[in-house]
A and B are shown apart, each in its own frame.
Chain A
Amino acid sequence: MSTQTKSRQVKLLQGNEACAEAAIAAGCRFFAGYPISPSSEIAEHLSVRLPQVGGRFIQMEDEIAAMGAILGAAMTGAKVMTATSGPGYSLKQENIGYAVMAEIPCVIVDVMRGGPSTGLPTSPAQSDVMQARWGTHGDHPAVALAPASVREVYDETIRAFNIAERFRMPVTLLVDEIIAHMRERVELPNKGEITLWERPRPTVPPDQYLPFGDTPTGVPPMANFGEGYRYHVTGLYHDPHGLPKDSPEVVDNVIRRLMRKVELGAPDILKHEEVLLDDAALGIVAYGSSARSAKAAIRLARARGIKVGLLRPLTIWPFIEGPVADLSKQVRHIIVPEMNLGQLVLEVERVVRGRCPVHRVNRVTGEPIPPDEILAKIEELA
């Protein structure tokens, strides 16, 4: 199905396939997974593609093992990924916390389906937004990205690897089932057009190396196992050498540094799109496939003379506080359509701080939000 147009490859790709191909392009050479709808095509695709490029694919005995295996592989220097859906994402959460604490770069794809529990295994939802933020226990930073098209799945997968490696942490790609299973024409970037970030590497000899020391960015350089830098990695609080320590000072330094590296890195992590906001009196904040419905609703509303625009976070966590605050100073109302009963809207409300009313449009029936439902809310408020 692929042809050459100018120099770029054009393909008809499914979202999950685009994710798998982007992982290869980003340098991913290790994937461990467990079958779960609606993400299994990612594993199936990589089981073929990874060996072709000298990488390794392994189907593990459960979701927890898949998460553990990628973290072990990442310690040897590999760029790693796993893919799952809501129930599996829940199972992985303890080891995701380990990746935060031990500062191990990894990408977790969560193709969101309806929950709770087994829920709606093959229907779309956006109900893991808060799981992506607070799924693992304890205070911790979180990064999650939410693409809204197949091409964007490709780009955001690469960005997920880049952020994971640069900041030594887990990054979640939050895809909803619609985007994951949709097929679109995709013009793939050439190799030279893709920017890759690598994990920071030690520049000192092993006897001076601090695997968990502080740095101006808050991110310590990472030596890979087997390169002569022998050190300890633990989920316990630890000193800059990685050795277990639980003094109040050590604990405070570690947790605050883990948070700080994401705060300092925010300019490299945050990303959003603005659509027709310049003259907007009404604003919509939407992500993933709900943003596609929102765009359709905006077209219809504009045709009727209503000035409405879209603010679309591609980075869900950390939250795009600045643009949302600015929007709340500009518009009379903000509408937040989500395929859940209100998750990201809680962040919007927190940032808006009552400057304007925030309205919800929610669907949890396993169906996409029809543009008409958003349009009805727009017309009600116009």
Chain B
Amino acid sequence: MFDYEKYLRLEMFPHIWCPGCGDGIVMKSLLRAIDRVGLQKDEICMVSGIGCSSRLTGYVDFNTLHTTHGRPLAFATGVKLAKPSLNVIVITGDGDALAIGGNHFIHACRRNIDLTVLLFNNATYGMTGGQLAPTTPTGKVASTARQGSIDPPFDACKLAIAAGATYVARGTSYHSQQLDRLIEGGIKHKGFALIEILENCNTYYGRPNKVSLLELLQWEKDNTVNVKAAERMTPEQLQGKIITGVLHQADRPEYVAMYEEHIARAQAKARAAA
């Protein structure tokens, strides 16, 4: 039995997440991944924005920074650049990272700064009551799109790959063992790592769209295909499926390491001039 309690602030429980929410499943997966990598609690800085998933940082016993809406990547960039020895893990939601924080998201990818980002994608704004998100599938109902959304949704992984992220993976809250490995790979990766996690908000996405928690979890199972299995499938078989697993991995200089070299060059030049 995995000892979750050694990583938790037990005085913070019970948590605020609704029964059936995917956030707790992902949090447990994250703690197992941290344990497998063998990180010490003092070496971890966990930074989050605003939203249901971003409340995670209050529950875990690390150096935790619960910031403003959409801005965790900006804060995390400051933490990592100022103190590279910290392992910086960012907890963000789909609204946090892709709407209000979209600019920070693409630029953190571009810099390839060594952050591990868990993007909890529940396709809605849960904390504020189920408004339309940049990830809500077209046609689905939200409290601000009662007749169904006409907006096309973002694909966070494609966006990250295009912007320059060097580790891009997608998992689901249904496939929690796979998720452990994806997060572990992201933490070990030197560079910007995105793990998008498809999860459910049965309260504010499921209810208005008349789908139950079980149906939402079943959807995560039935509509996703592992990237390796997908290689053997025809385009017809992949129609409407979402690919999971490590979608992209690249080797590119990491920002903080480059900055350390920049400092060394600047100091050598200053010494030579003196």
**Chain A positions near chain B (C-beta within 8 angstroms):** 29-30, 32, 48, 51-52, 54, 56, 58, 60-62, 64-78, 80, 94-95, 98, 225-228, 230-236, 243-244
Given known A56-B82, A56-B259, A225-B63, contact A68–B107 (CB-CB < 8 A):
no
A230 / chain B contacts, CB cutoff of 8 Å = 41-42, 61-64
Is B11's beta carbon under 8 Å from chain A? Answer: yes
> What are 17 inter-chain pairs, A to B, with CB distance below 8 A?
A32-B78, A56-B259, A61-B104, A65-B107, A66-B74, A68-B77, A69-B74, A69-B75, A69-B81, A75-B78, A95-B68, A226-B63, A228-B42, A230-B41, A230-B42, A233-B64, A244-B58
Contact A30 B74 (CB under 8 A): no
Among A30, A94, A227, the residue within 8 A (CB) of B78 is A30
Given known A61-B104, A228-B42, A230-B42, contact A98–B68 (CB-CB < 8 A):
yes
Contact with A along B247-274 (1 / 0, CB 8 A): 0000000000001001101110010000
The number of residues on chain B lying at the interface, defined by a beta carbon within 8 Å of a beta carbon of chain A, is: 43
Among B64, B265, B266, the residue within 8 A (CB) of A232 is B64
Contact A68 B71 (CB under 8 A): yes
**Interface-centre pick from B43, B61, B266 (highest chain A CB count, 10 A):** B266
- Give Cα distance in the complex from A233 to B262, angstroms: 31
Contact A72 B68 (CB under 8 A): no
Contacts across chains A and B counted by CB atoms under 8 Å: 139
A228 / chain B contacts, CB cutoff of 8 Å = 42
Contact A232 B9 (CB under 8 A): yes
B262 / chain A contacts, CB cutoff of 8 Å = 51
For the complex with contacts A75-B78, A226-B45, 17 further pairs of A-B residues with Cβ separation under 8 Å are A51-B265, A51-B266, A60-B74, A65-B77, A68-B75, A72-B47, A75-B79, A76-B86, A94-B68, A95-B71, A98-B68, A225-B86, A228-B42, A230-B61, A233-B65, A235-B68, A243-B58
**Interface-centre pick from B12, B41, B57, B83 (highest chain A CB count, 10 A):** B83
B11 / chain A contacts, CB cutoff of 8 Å = 243
Rounded to whole Å, the gap between the CB of B100 and the closest CB of chain A is: 10
- Give Cα distance in the complex from A77 to B103, angstroms: 27
